[in-house]
Amino acid sequence: MTVDPARSAQMALVRSKNTRPEMIVRRIIHAMGYRYRLHRTDLPGKPDIVLPSHRKIVEVRGCFWHQHPDESCGRARVPKTRKDFWIPKLQGNRARDLANDEALRELGWNIVVVWECETTPAGRVELTAKLQAFLTE
């Protein structure tokens, strides 16, 4: 198996913290007047946004890396090459997400997942309403 240097360089640019979708969600929540903590290492999965006084967690997930289950989301497709690598990798990410979510719920946290495709300019009104409903419930 040969390693494609261009692919490696591209994949090295993928971040796990402070991504564009995460920053959008953080700005929306902050504008609503809520204060939060980021990436708490003492919680399972190091959740993206934690509102400790409300016992709420907002997870911002990339549609590709976390395999958004909505079939209308085109970003969640599996690559056409090296499926023997990608399918177990992406299924493992999904299984880890489910296990972390369950562990957080057992600890008494309420969780909402925001998908990358929901942070587009066209979807921000609905995203704001979704977050407002979650945070005020």
pLDDT, tens only, 34-81: 999 999 999 999 999 999 999 999 999 999 999 999 988 988 888 888
8 belongs to a structural domain:
no
Question: Which tokens sit at 97?
Answer: 């997400």
Q: Which two tokens stand for residue 103?
A: 């562990």
- Proportion of the chain above pLDDT 70, given as a percent: 92
- Mean pLDDT, the chain, rounded, equals 92
Q: Within a domain: residue 3?
A: no
| Residue 46 counted as domain residue | yes
Interval 18-45 mean pLDDT: 96
- What total number of domains does the chain contain? 1
Q: Return the C-alpha torsion angle 113, 27, 16, 80, nearest 10.
A: 60
Q: What CATH number is given to the structural domain containing 112?
A: 3.40.960.10
Domain containing 35 equals 16-136
Region of residue 70 (phi > 0: left; psi between -120 and 50: alpha; otherwise: beta):
beta
pLDDT at 12 over 70: no
Is the residue at 1 inside a domain?
no
Return the pLDDT at 13.
66
What per-residue confidence (pLDDT) applies to 79?
87
**Residue 107 lies inside a defined structural domain of this protein:** yes
Predicted TM-score (pTM) of the model is 0.87
Whether residue 59 contacts residue 113, with contact meaning beta carbons closer than 8 Å, is answered with yes
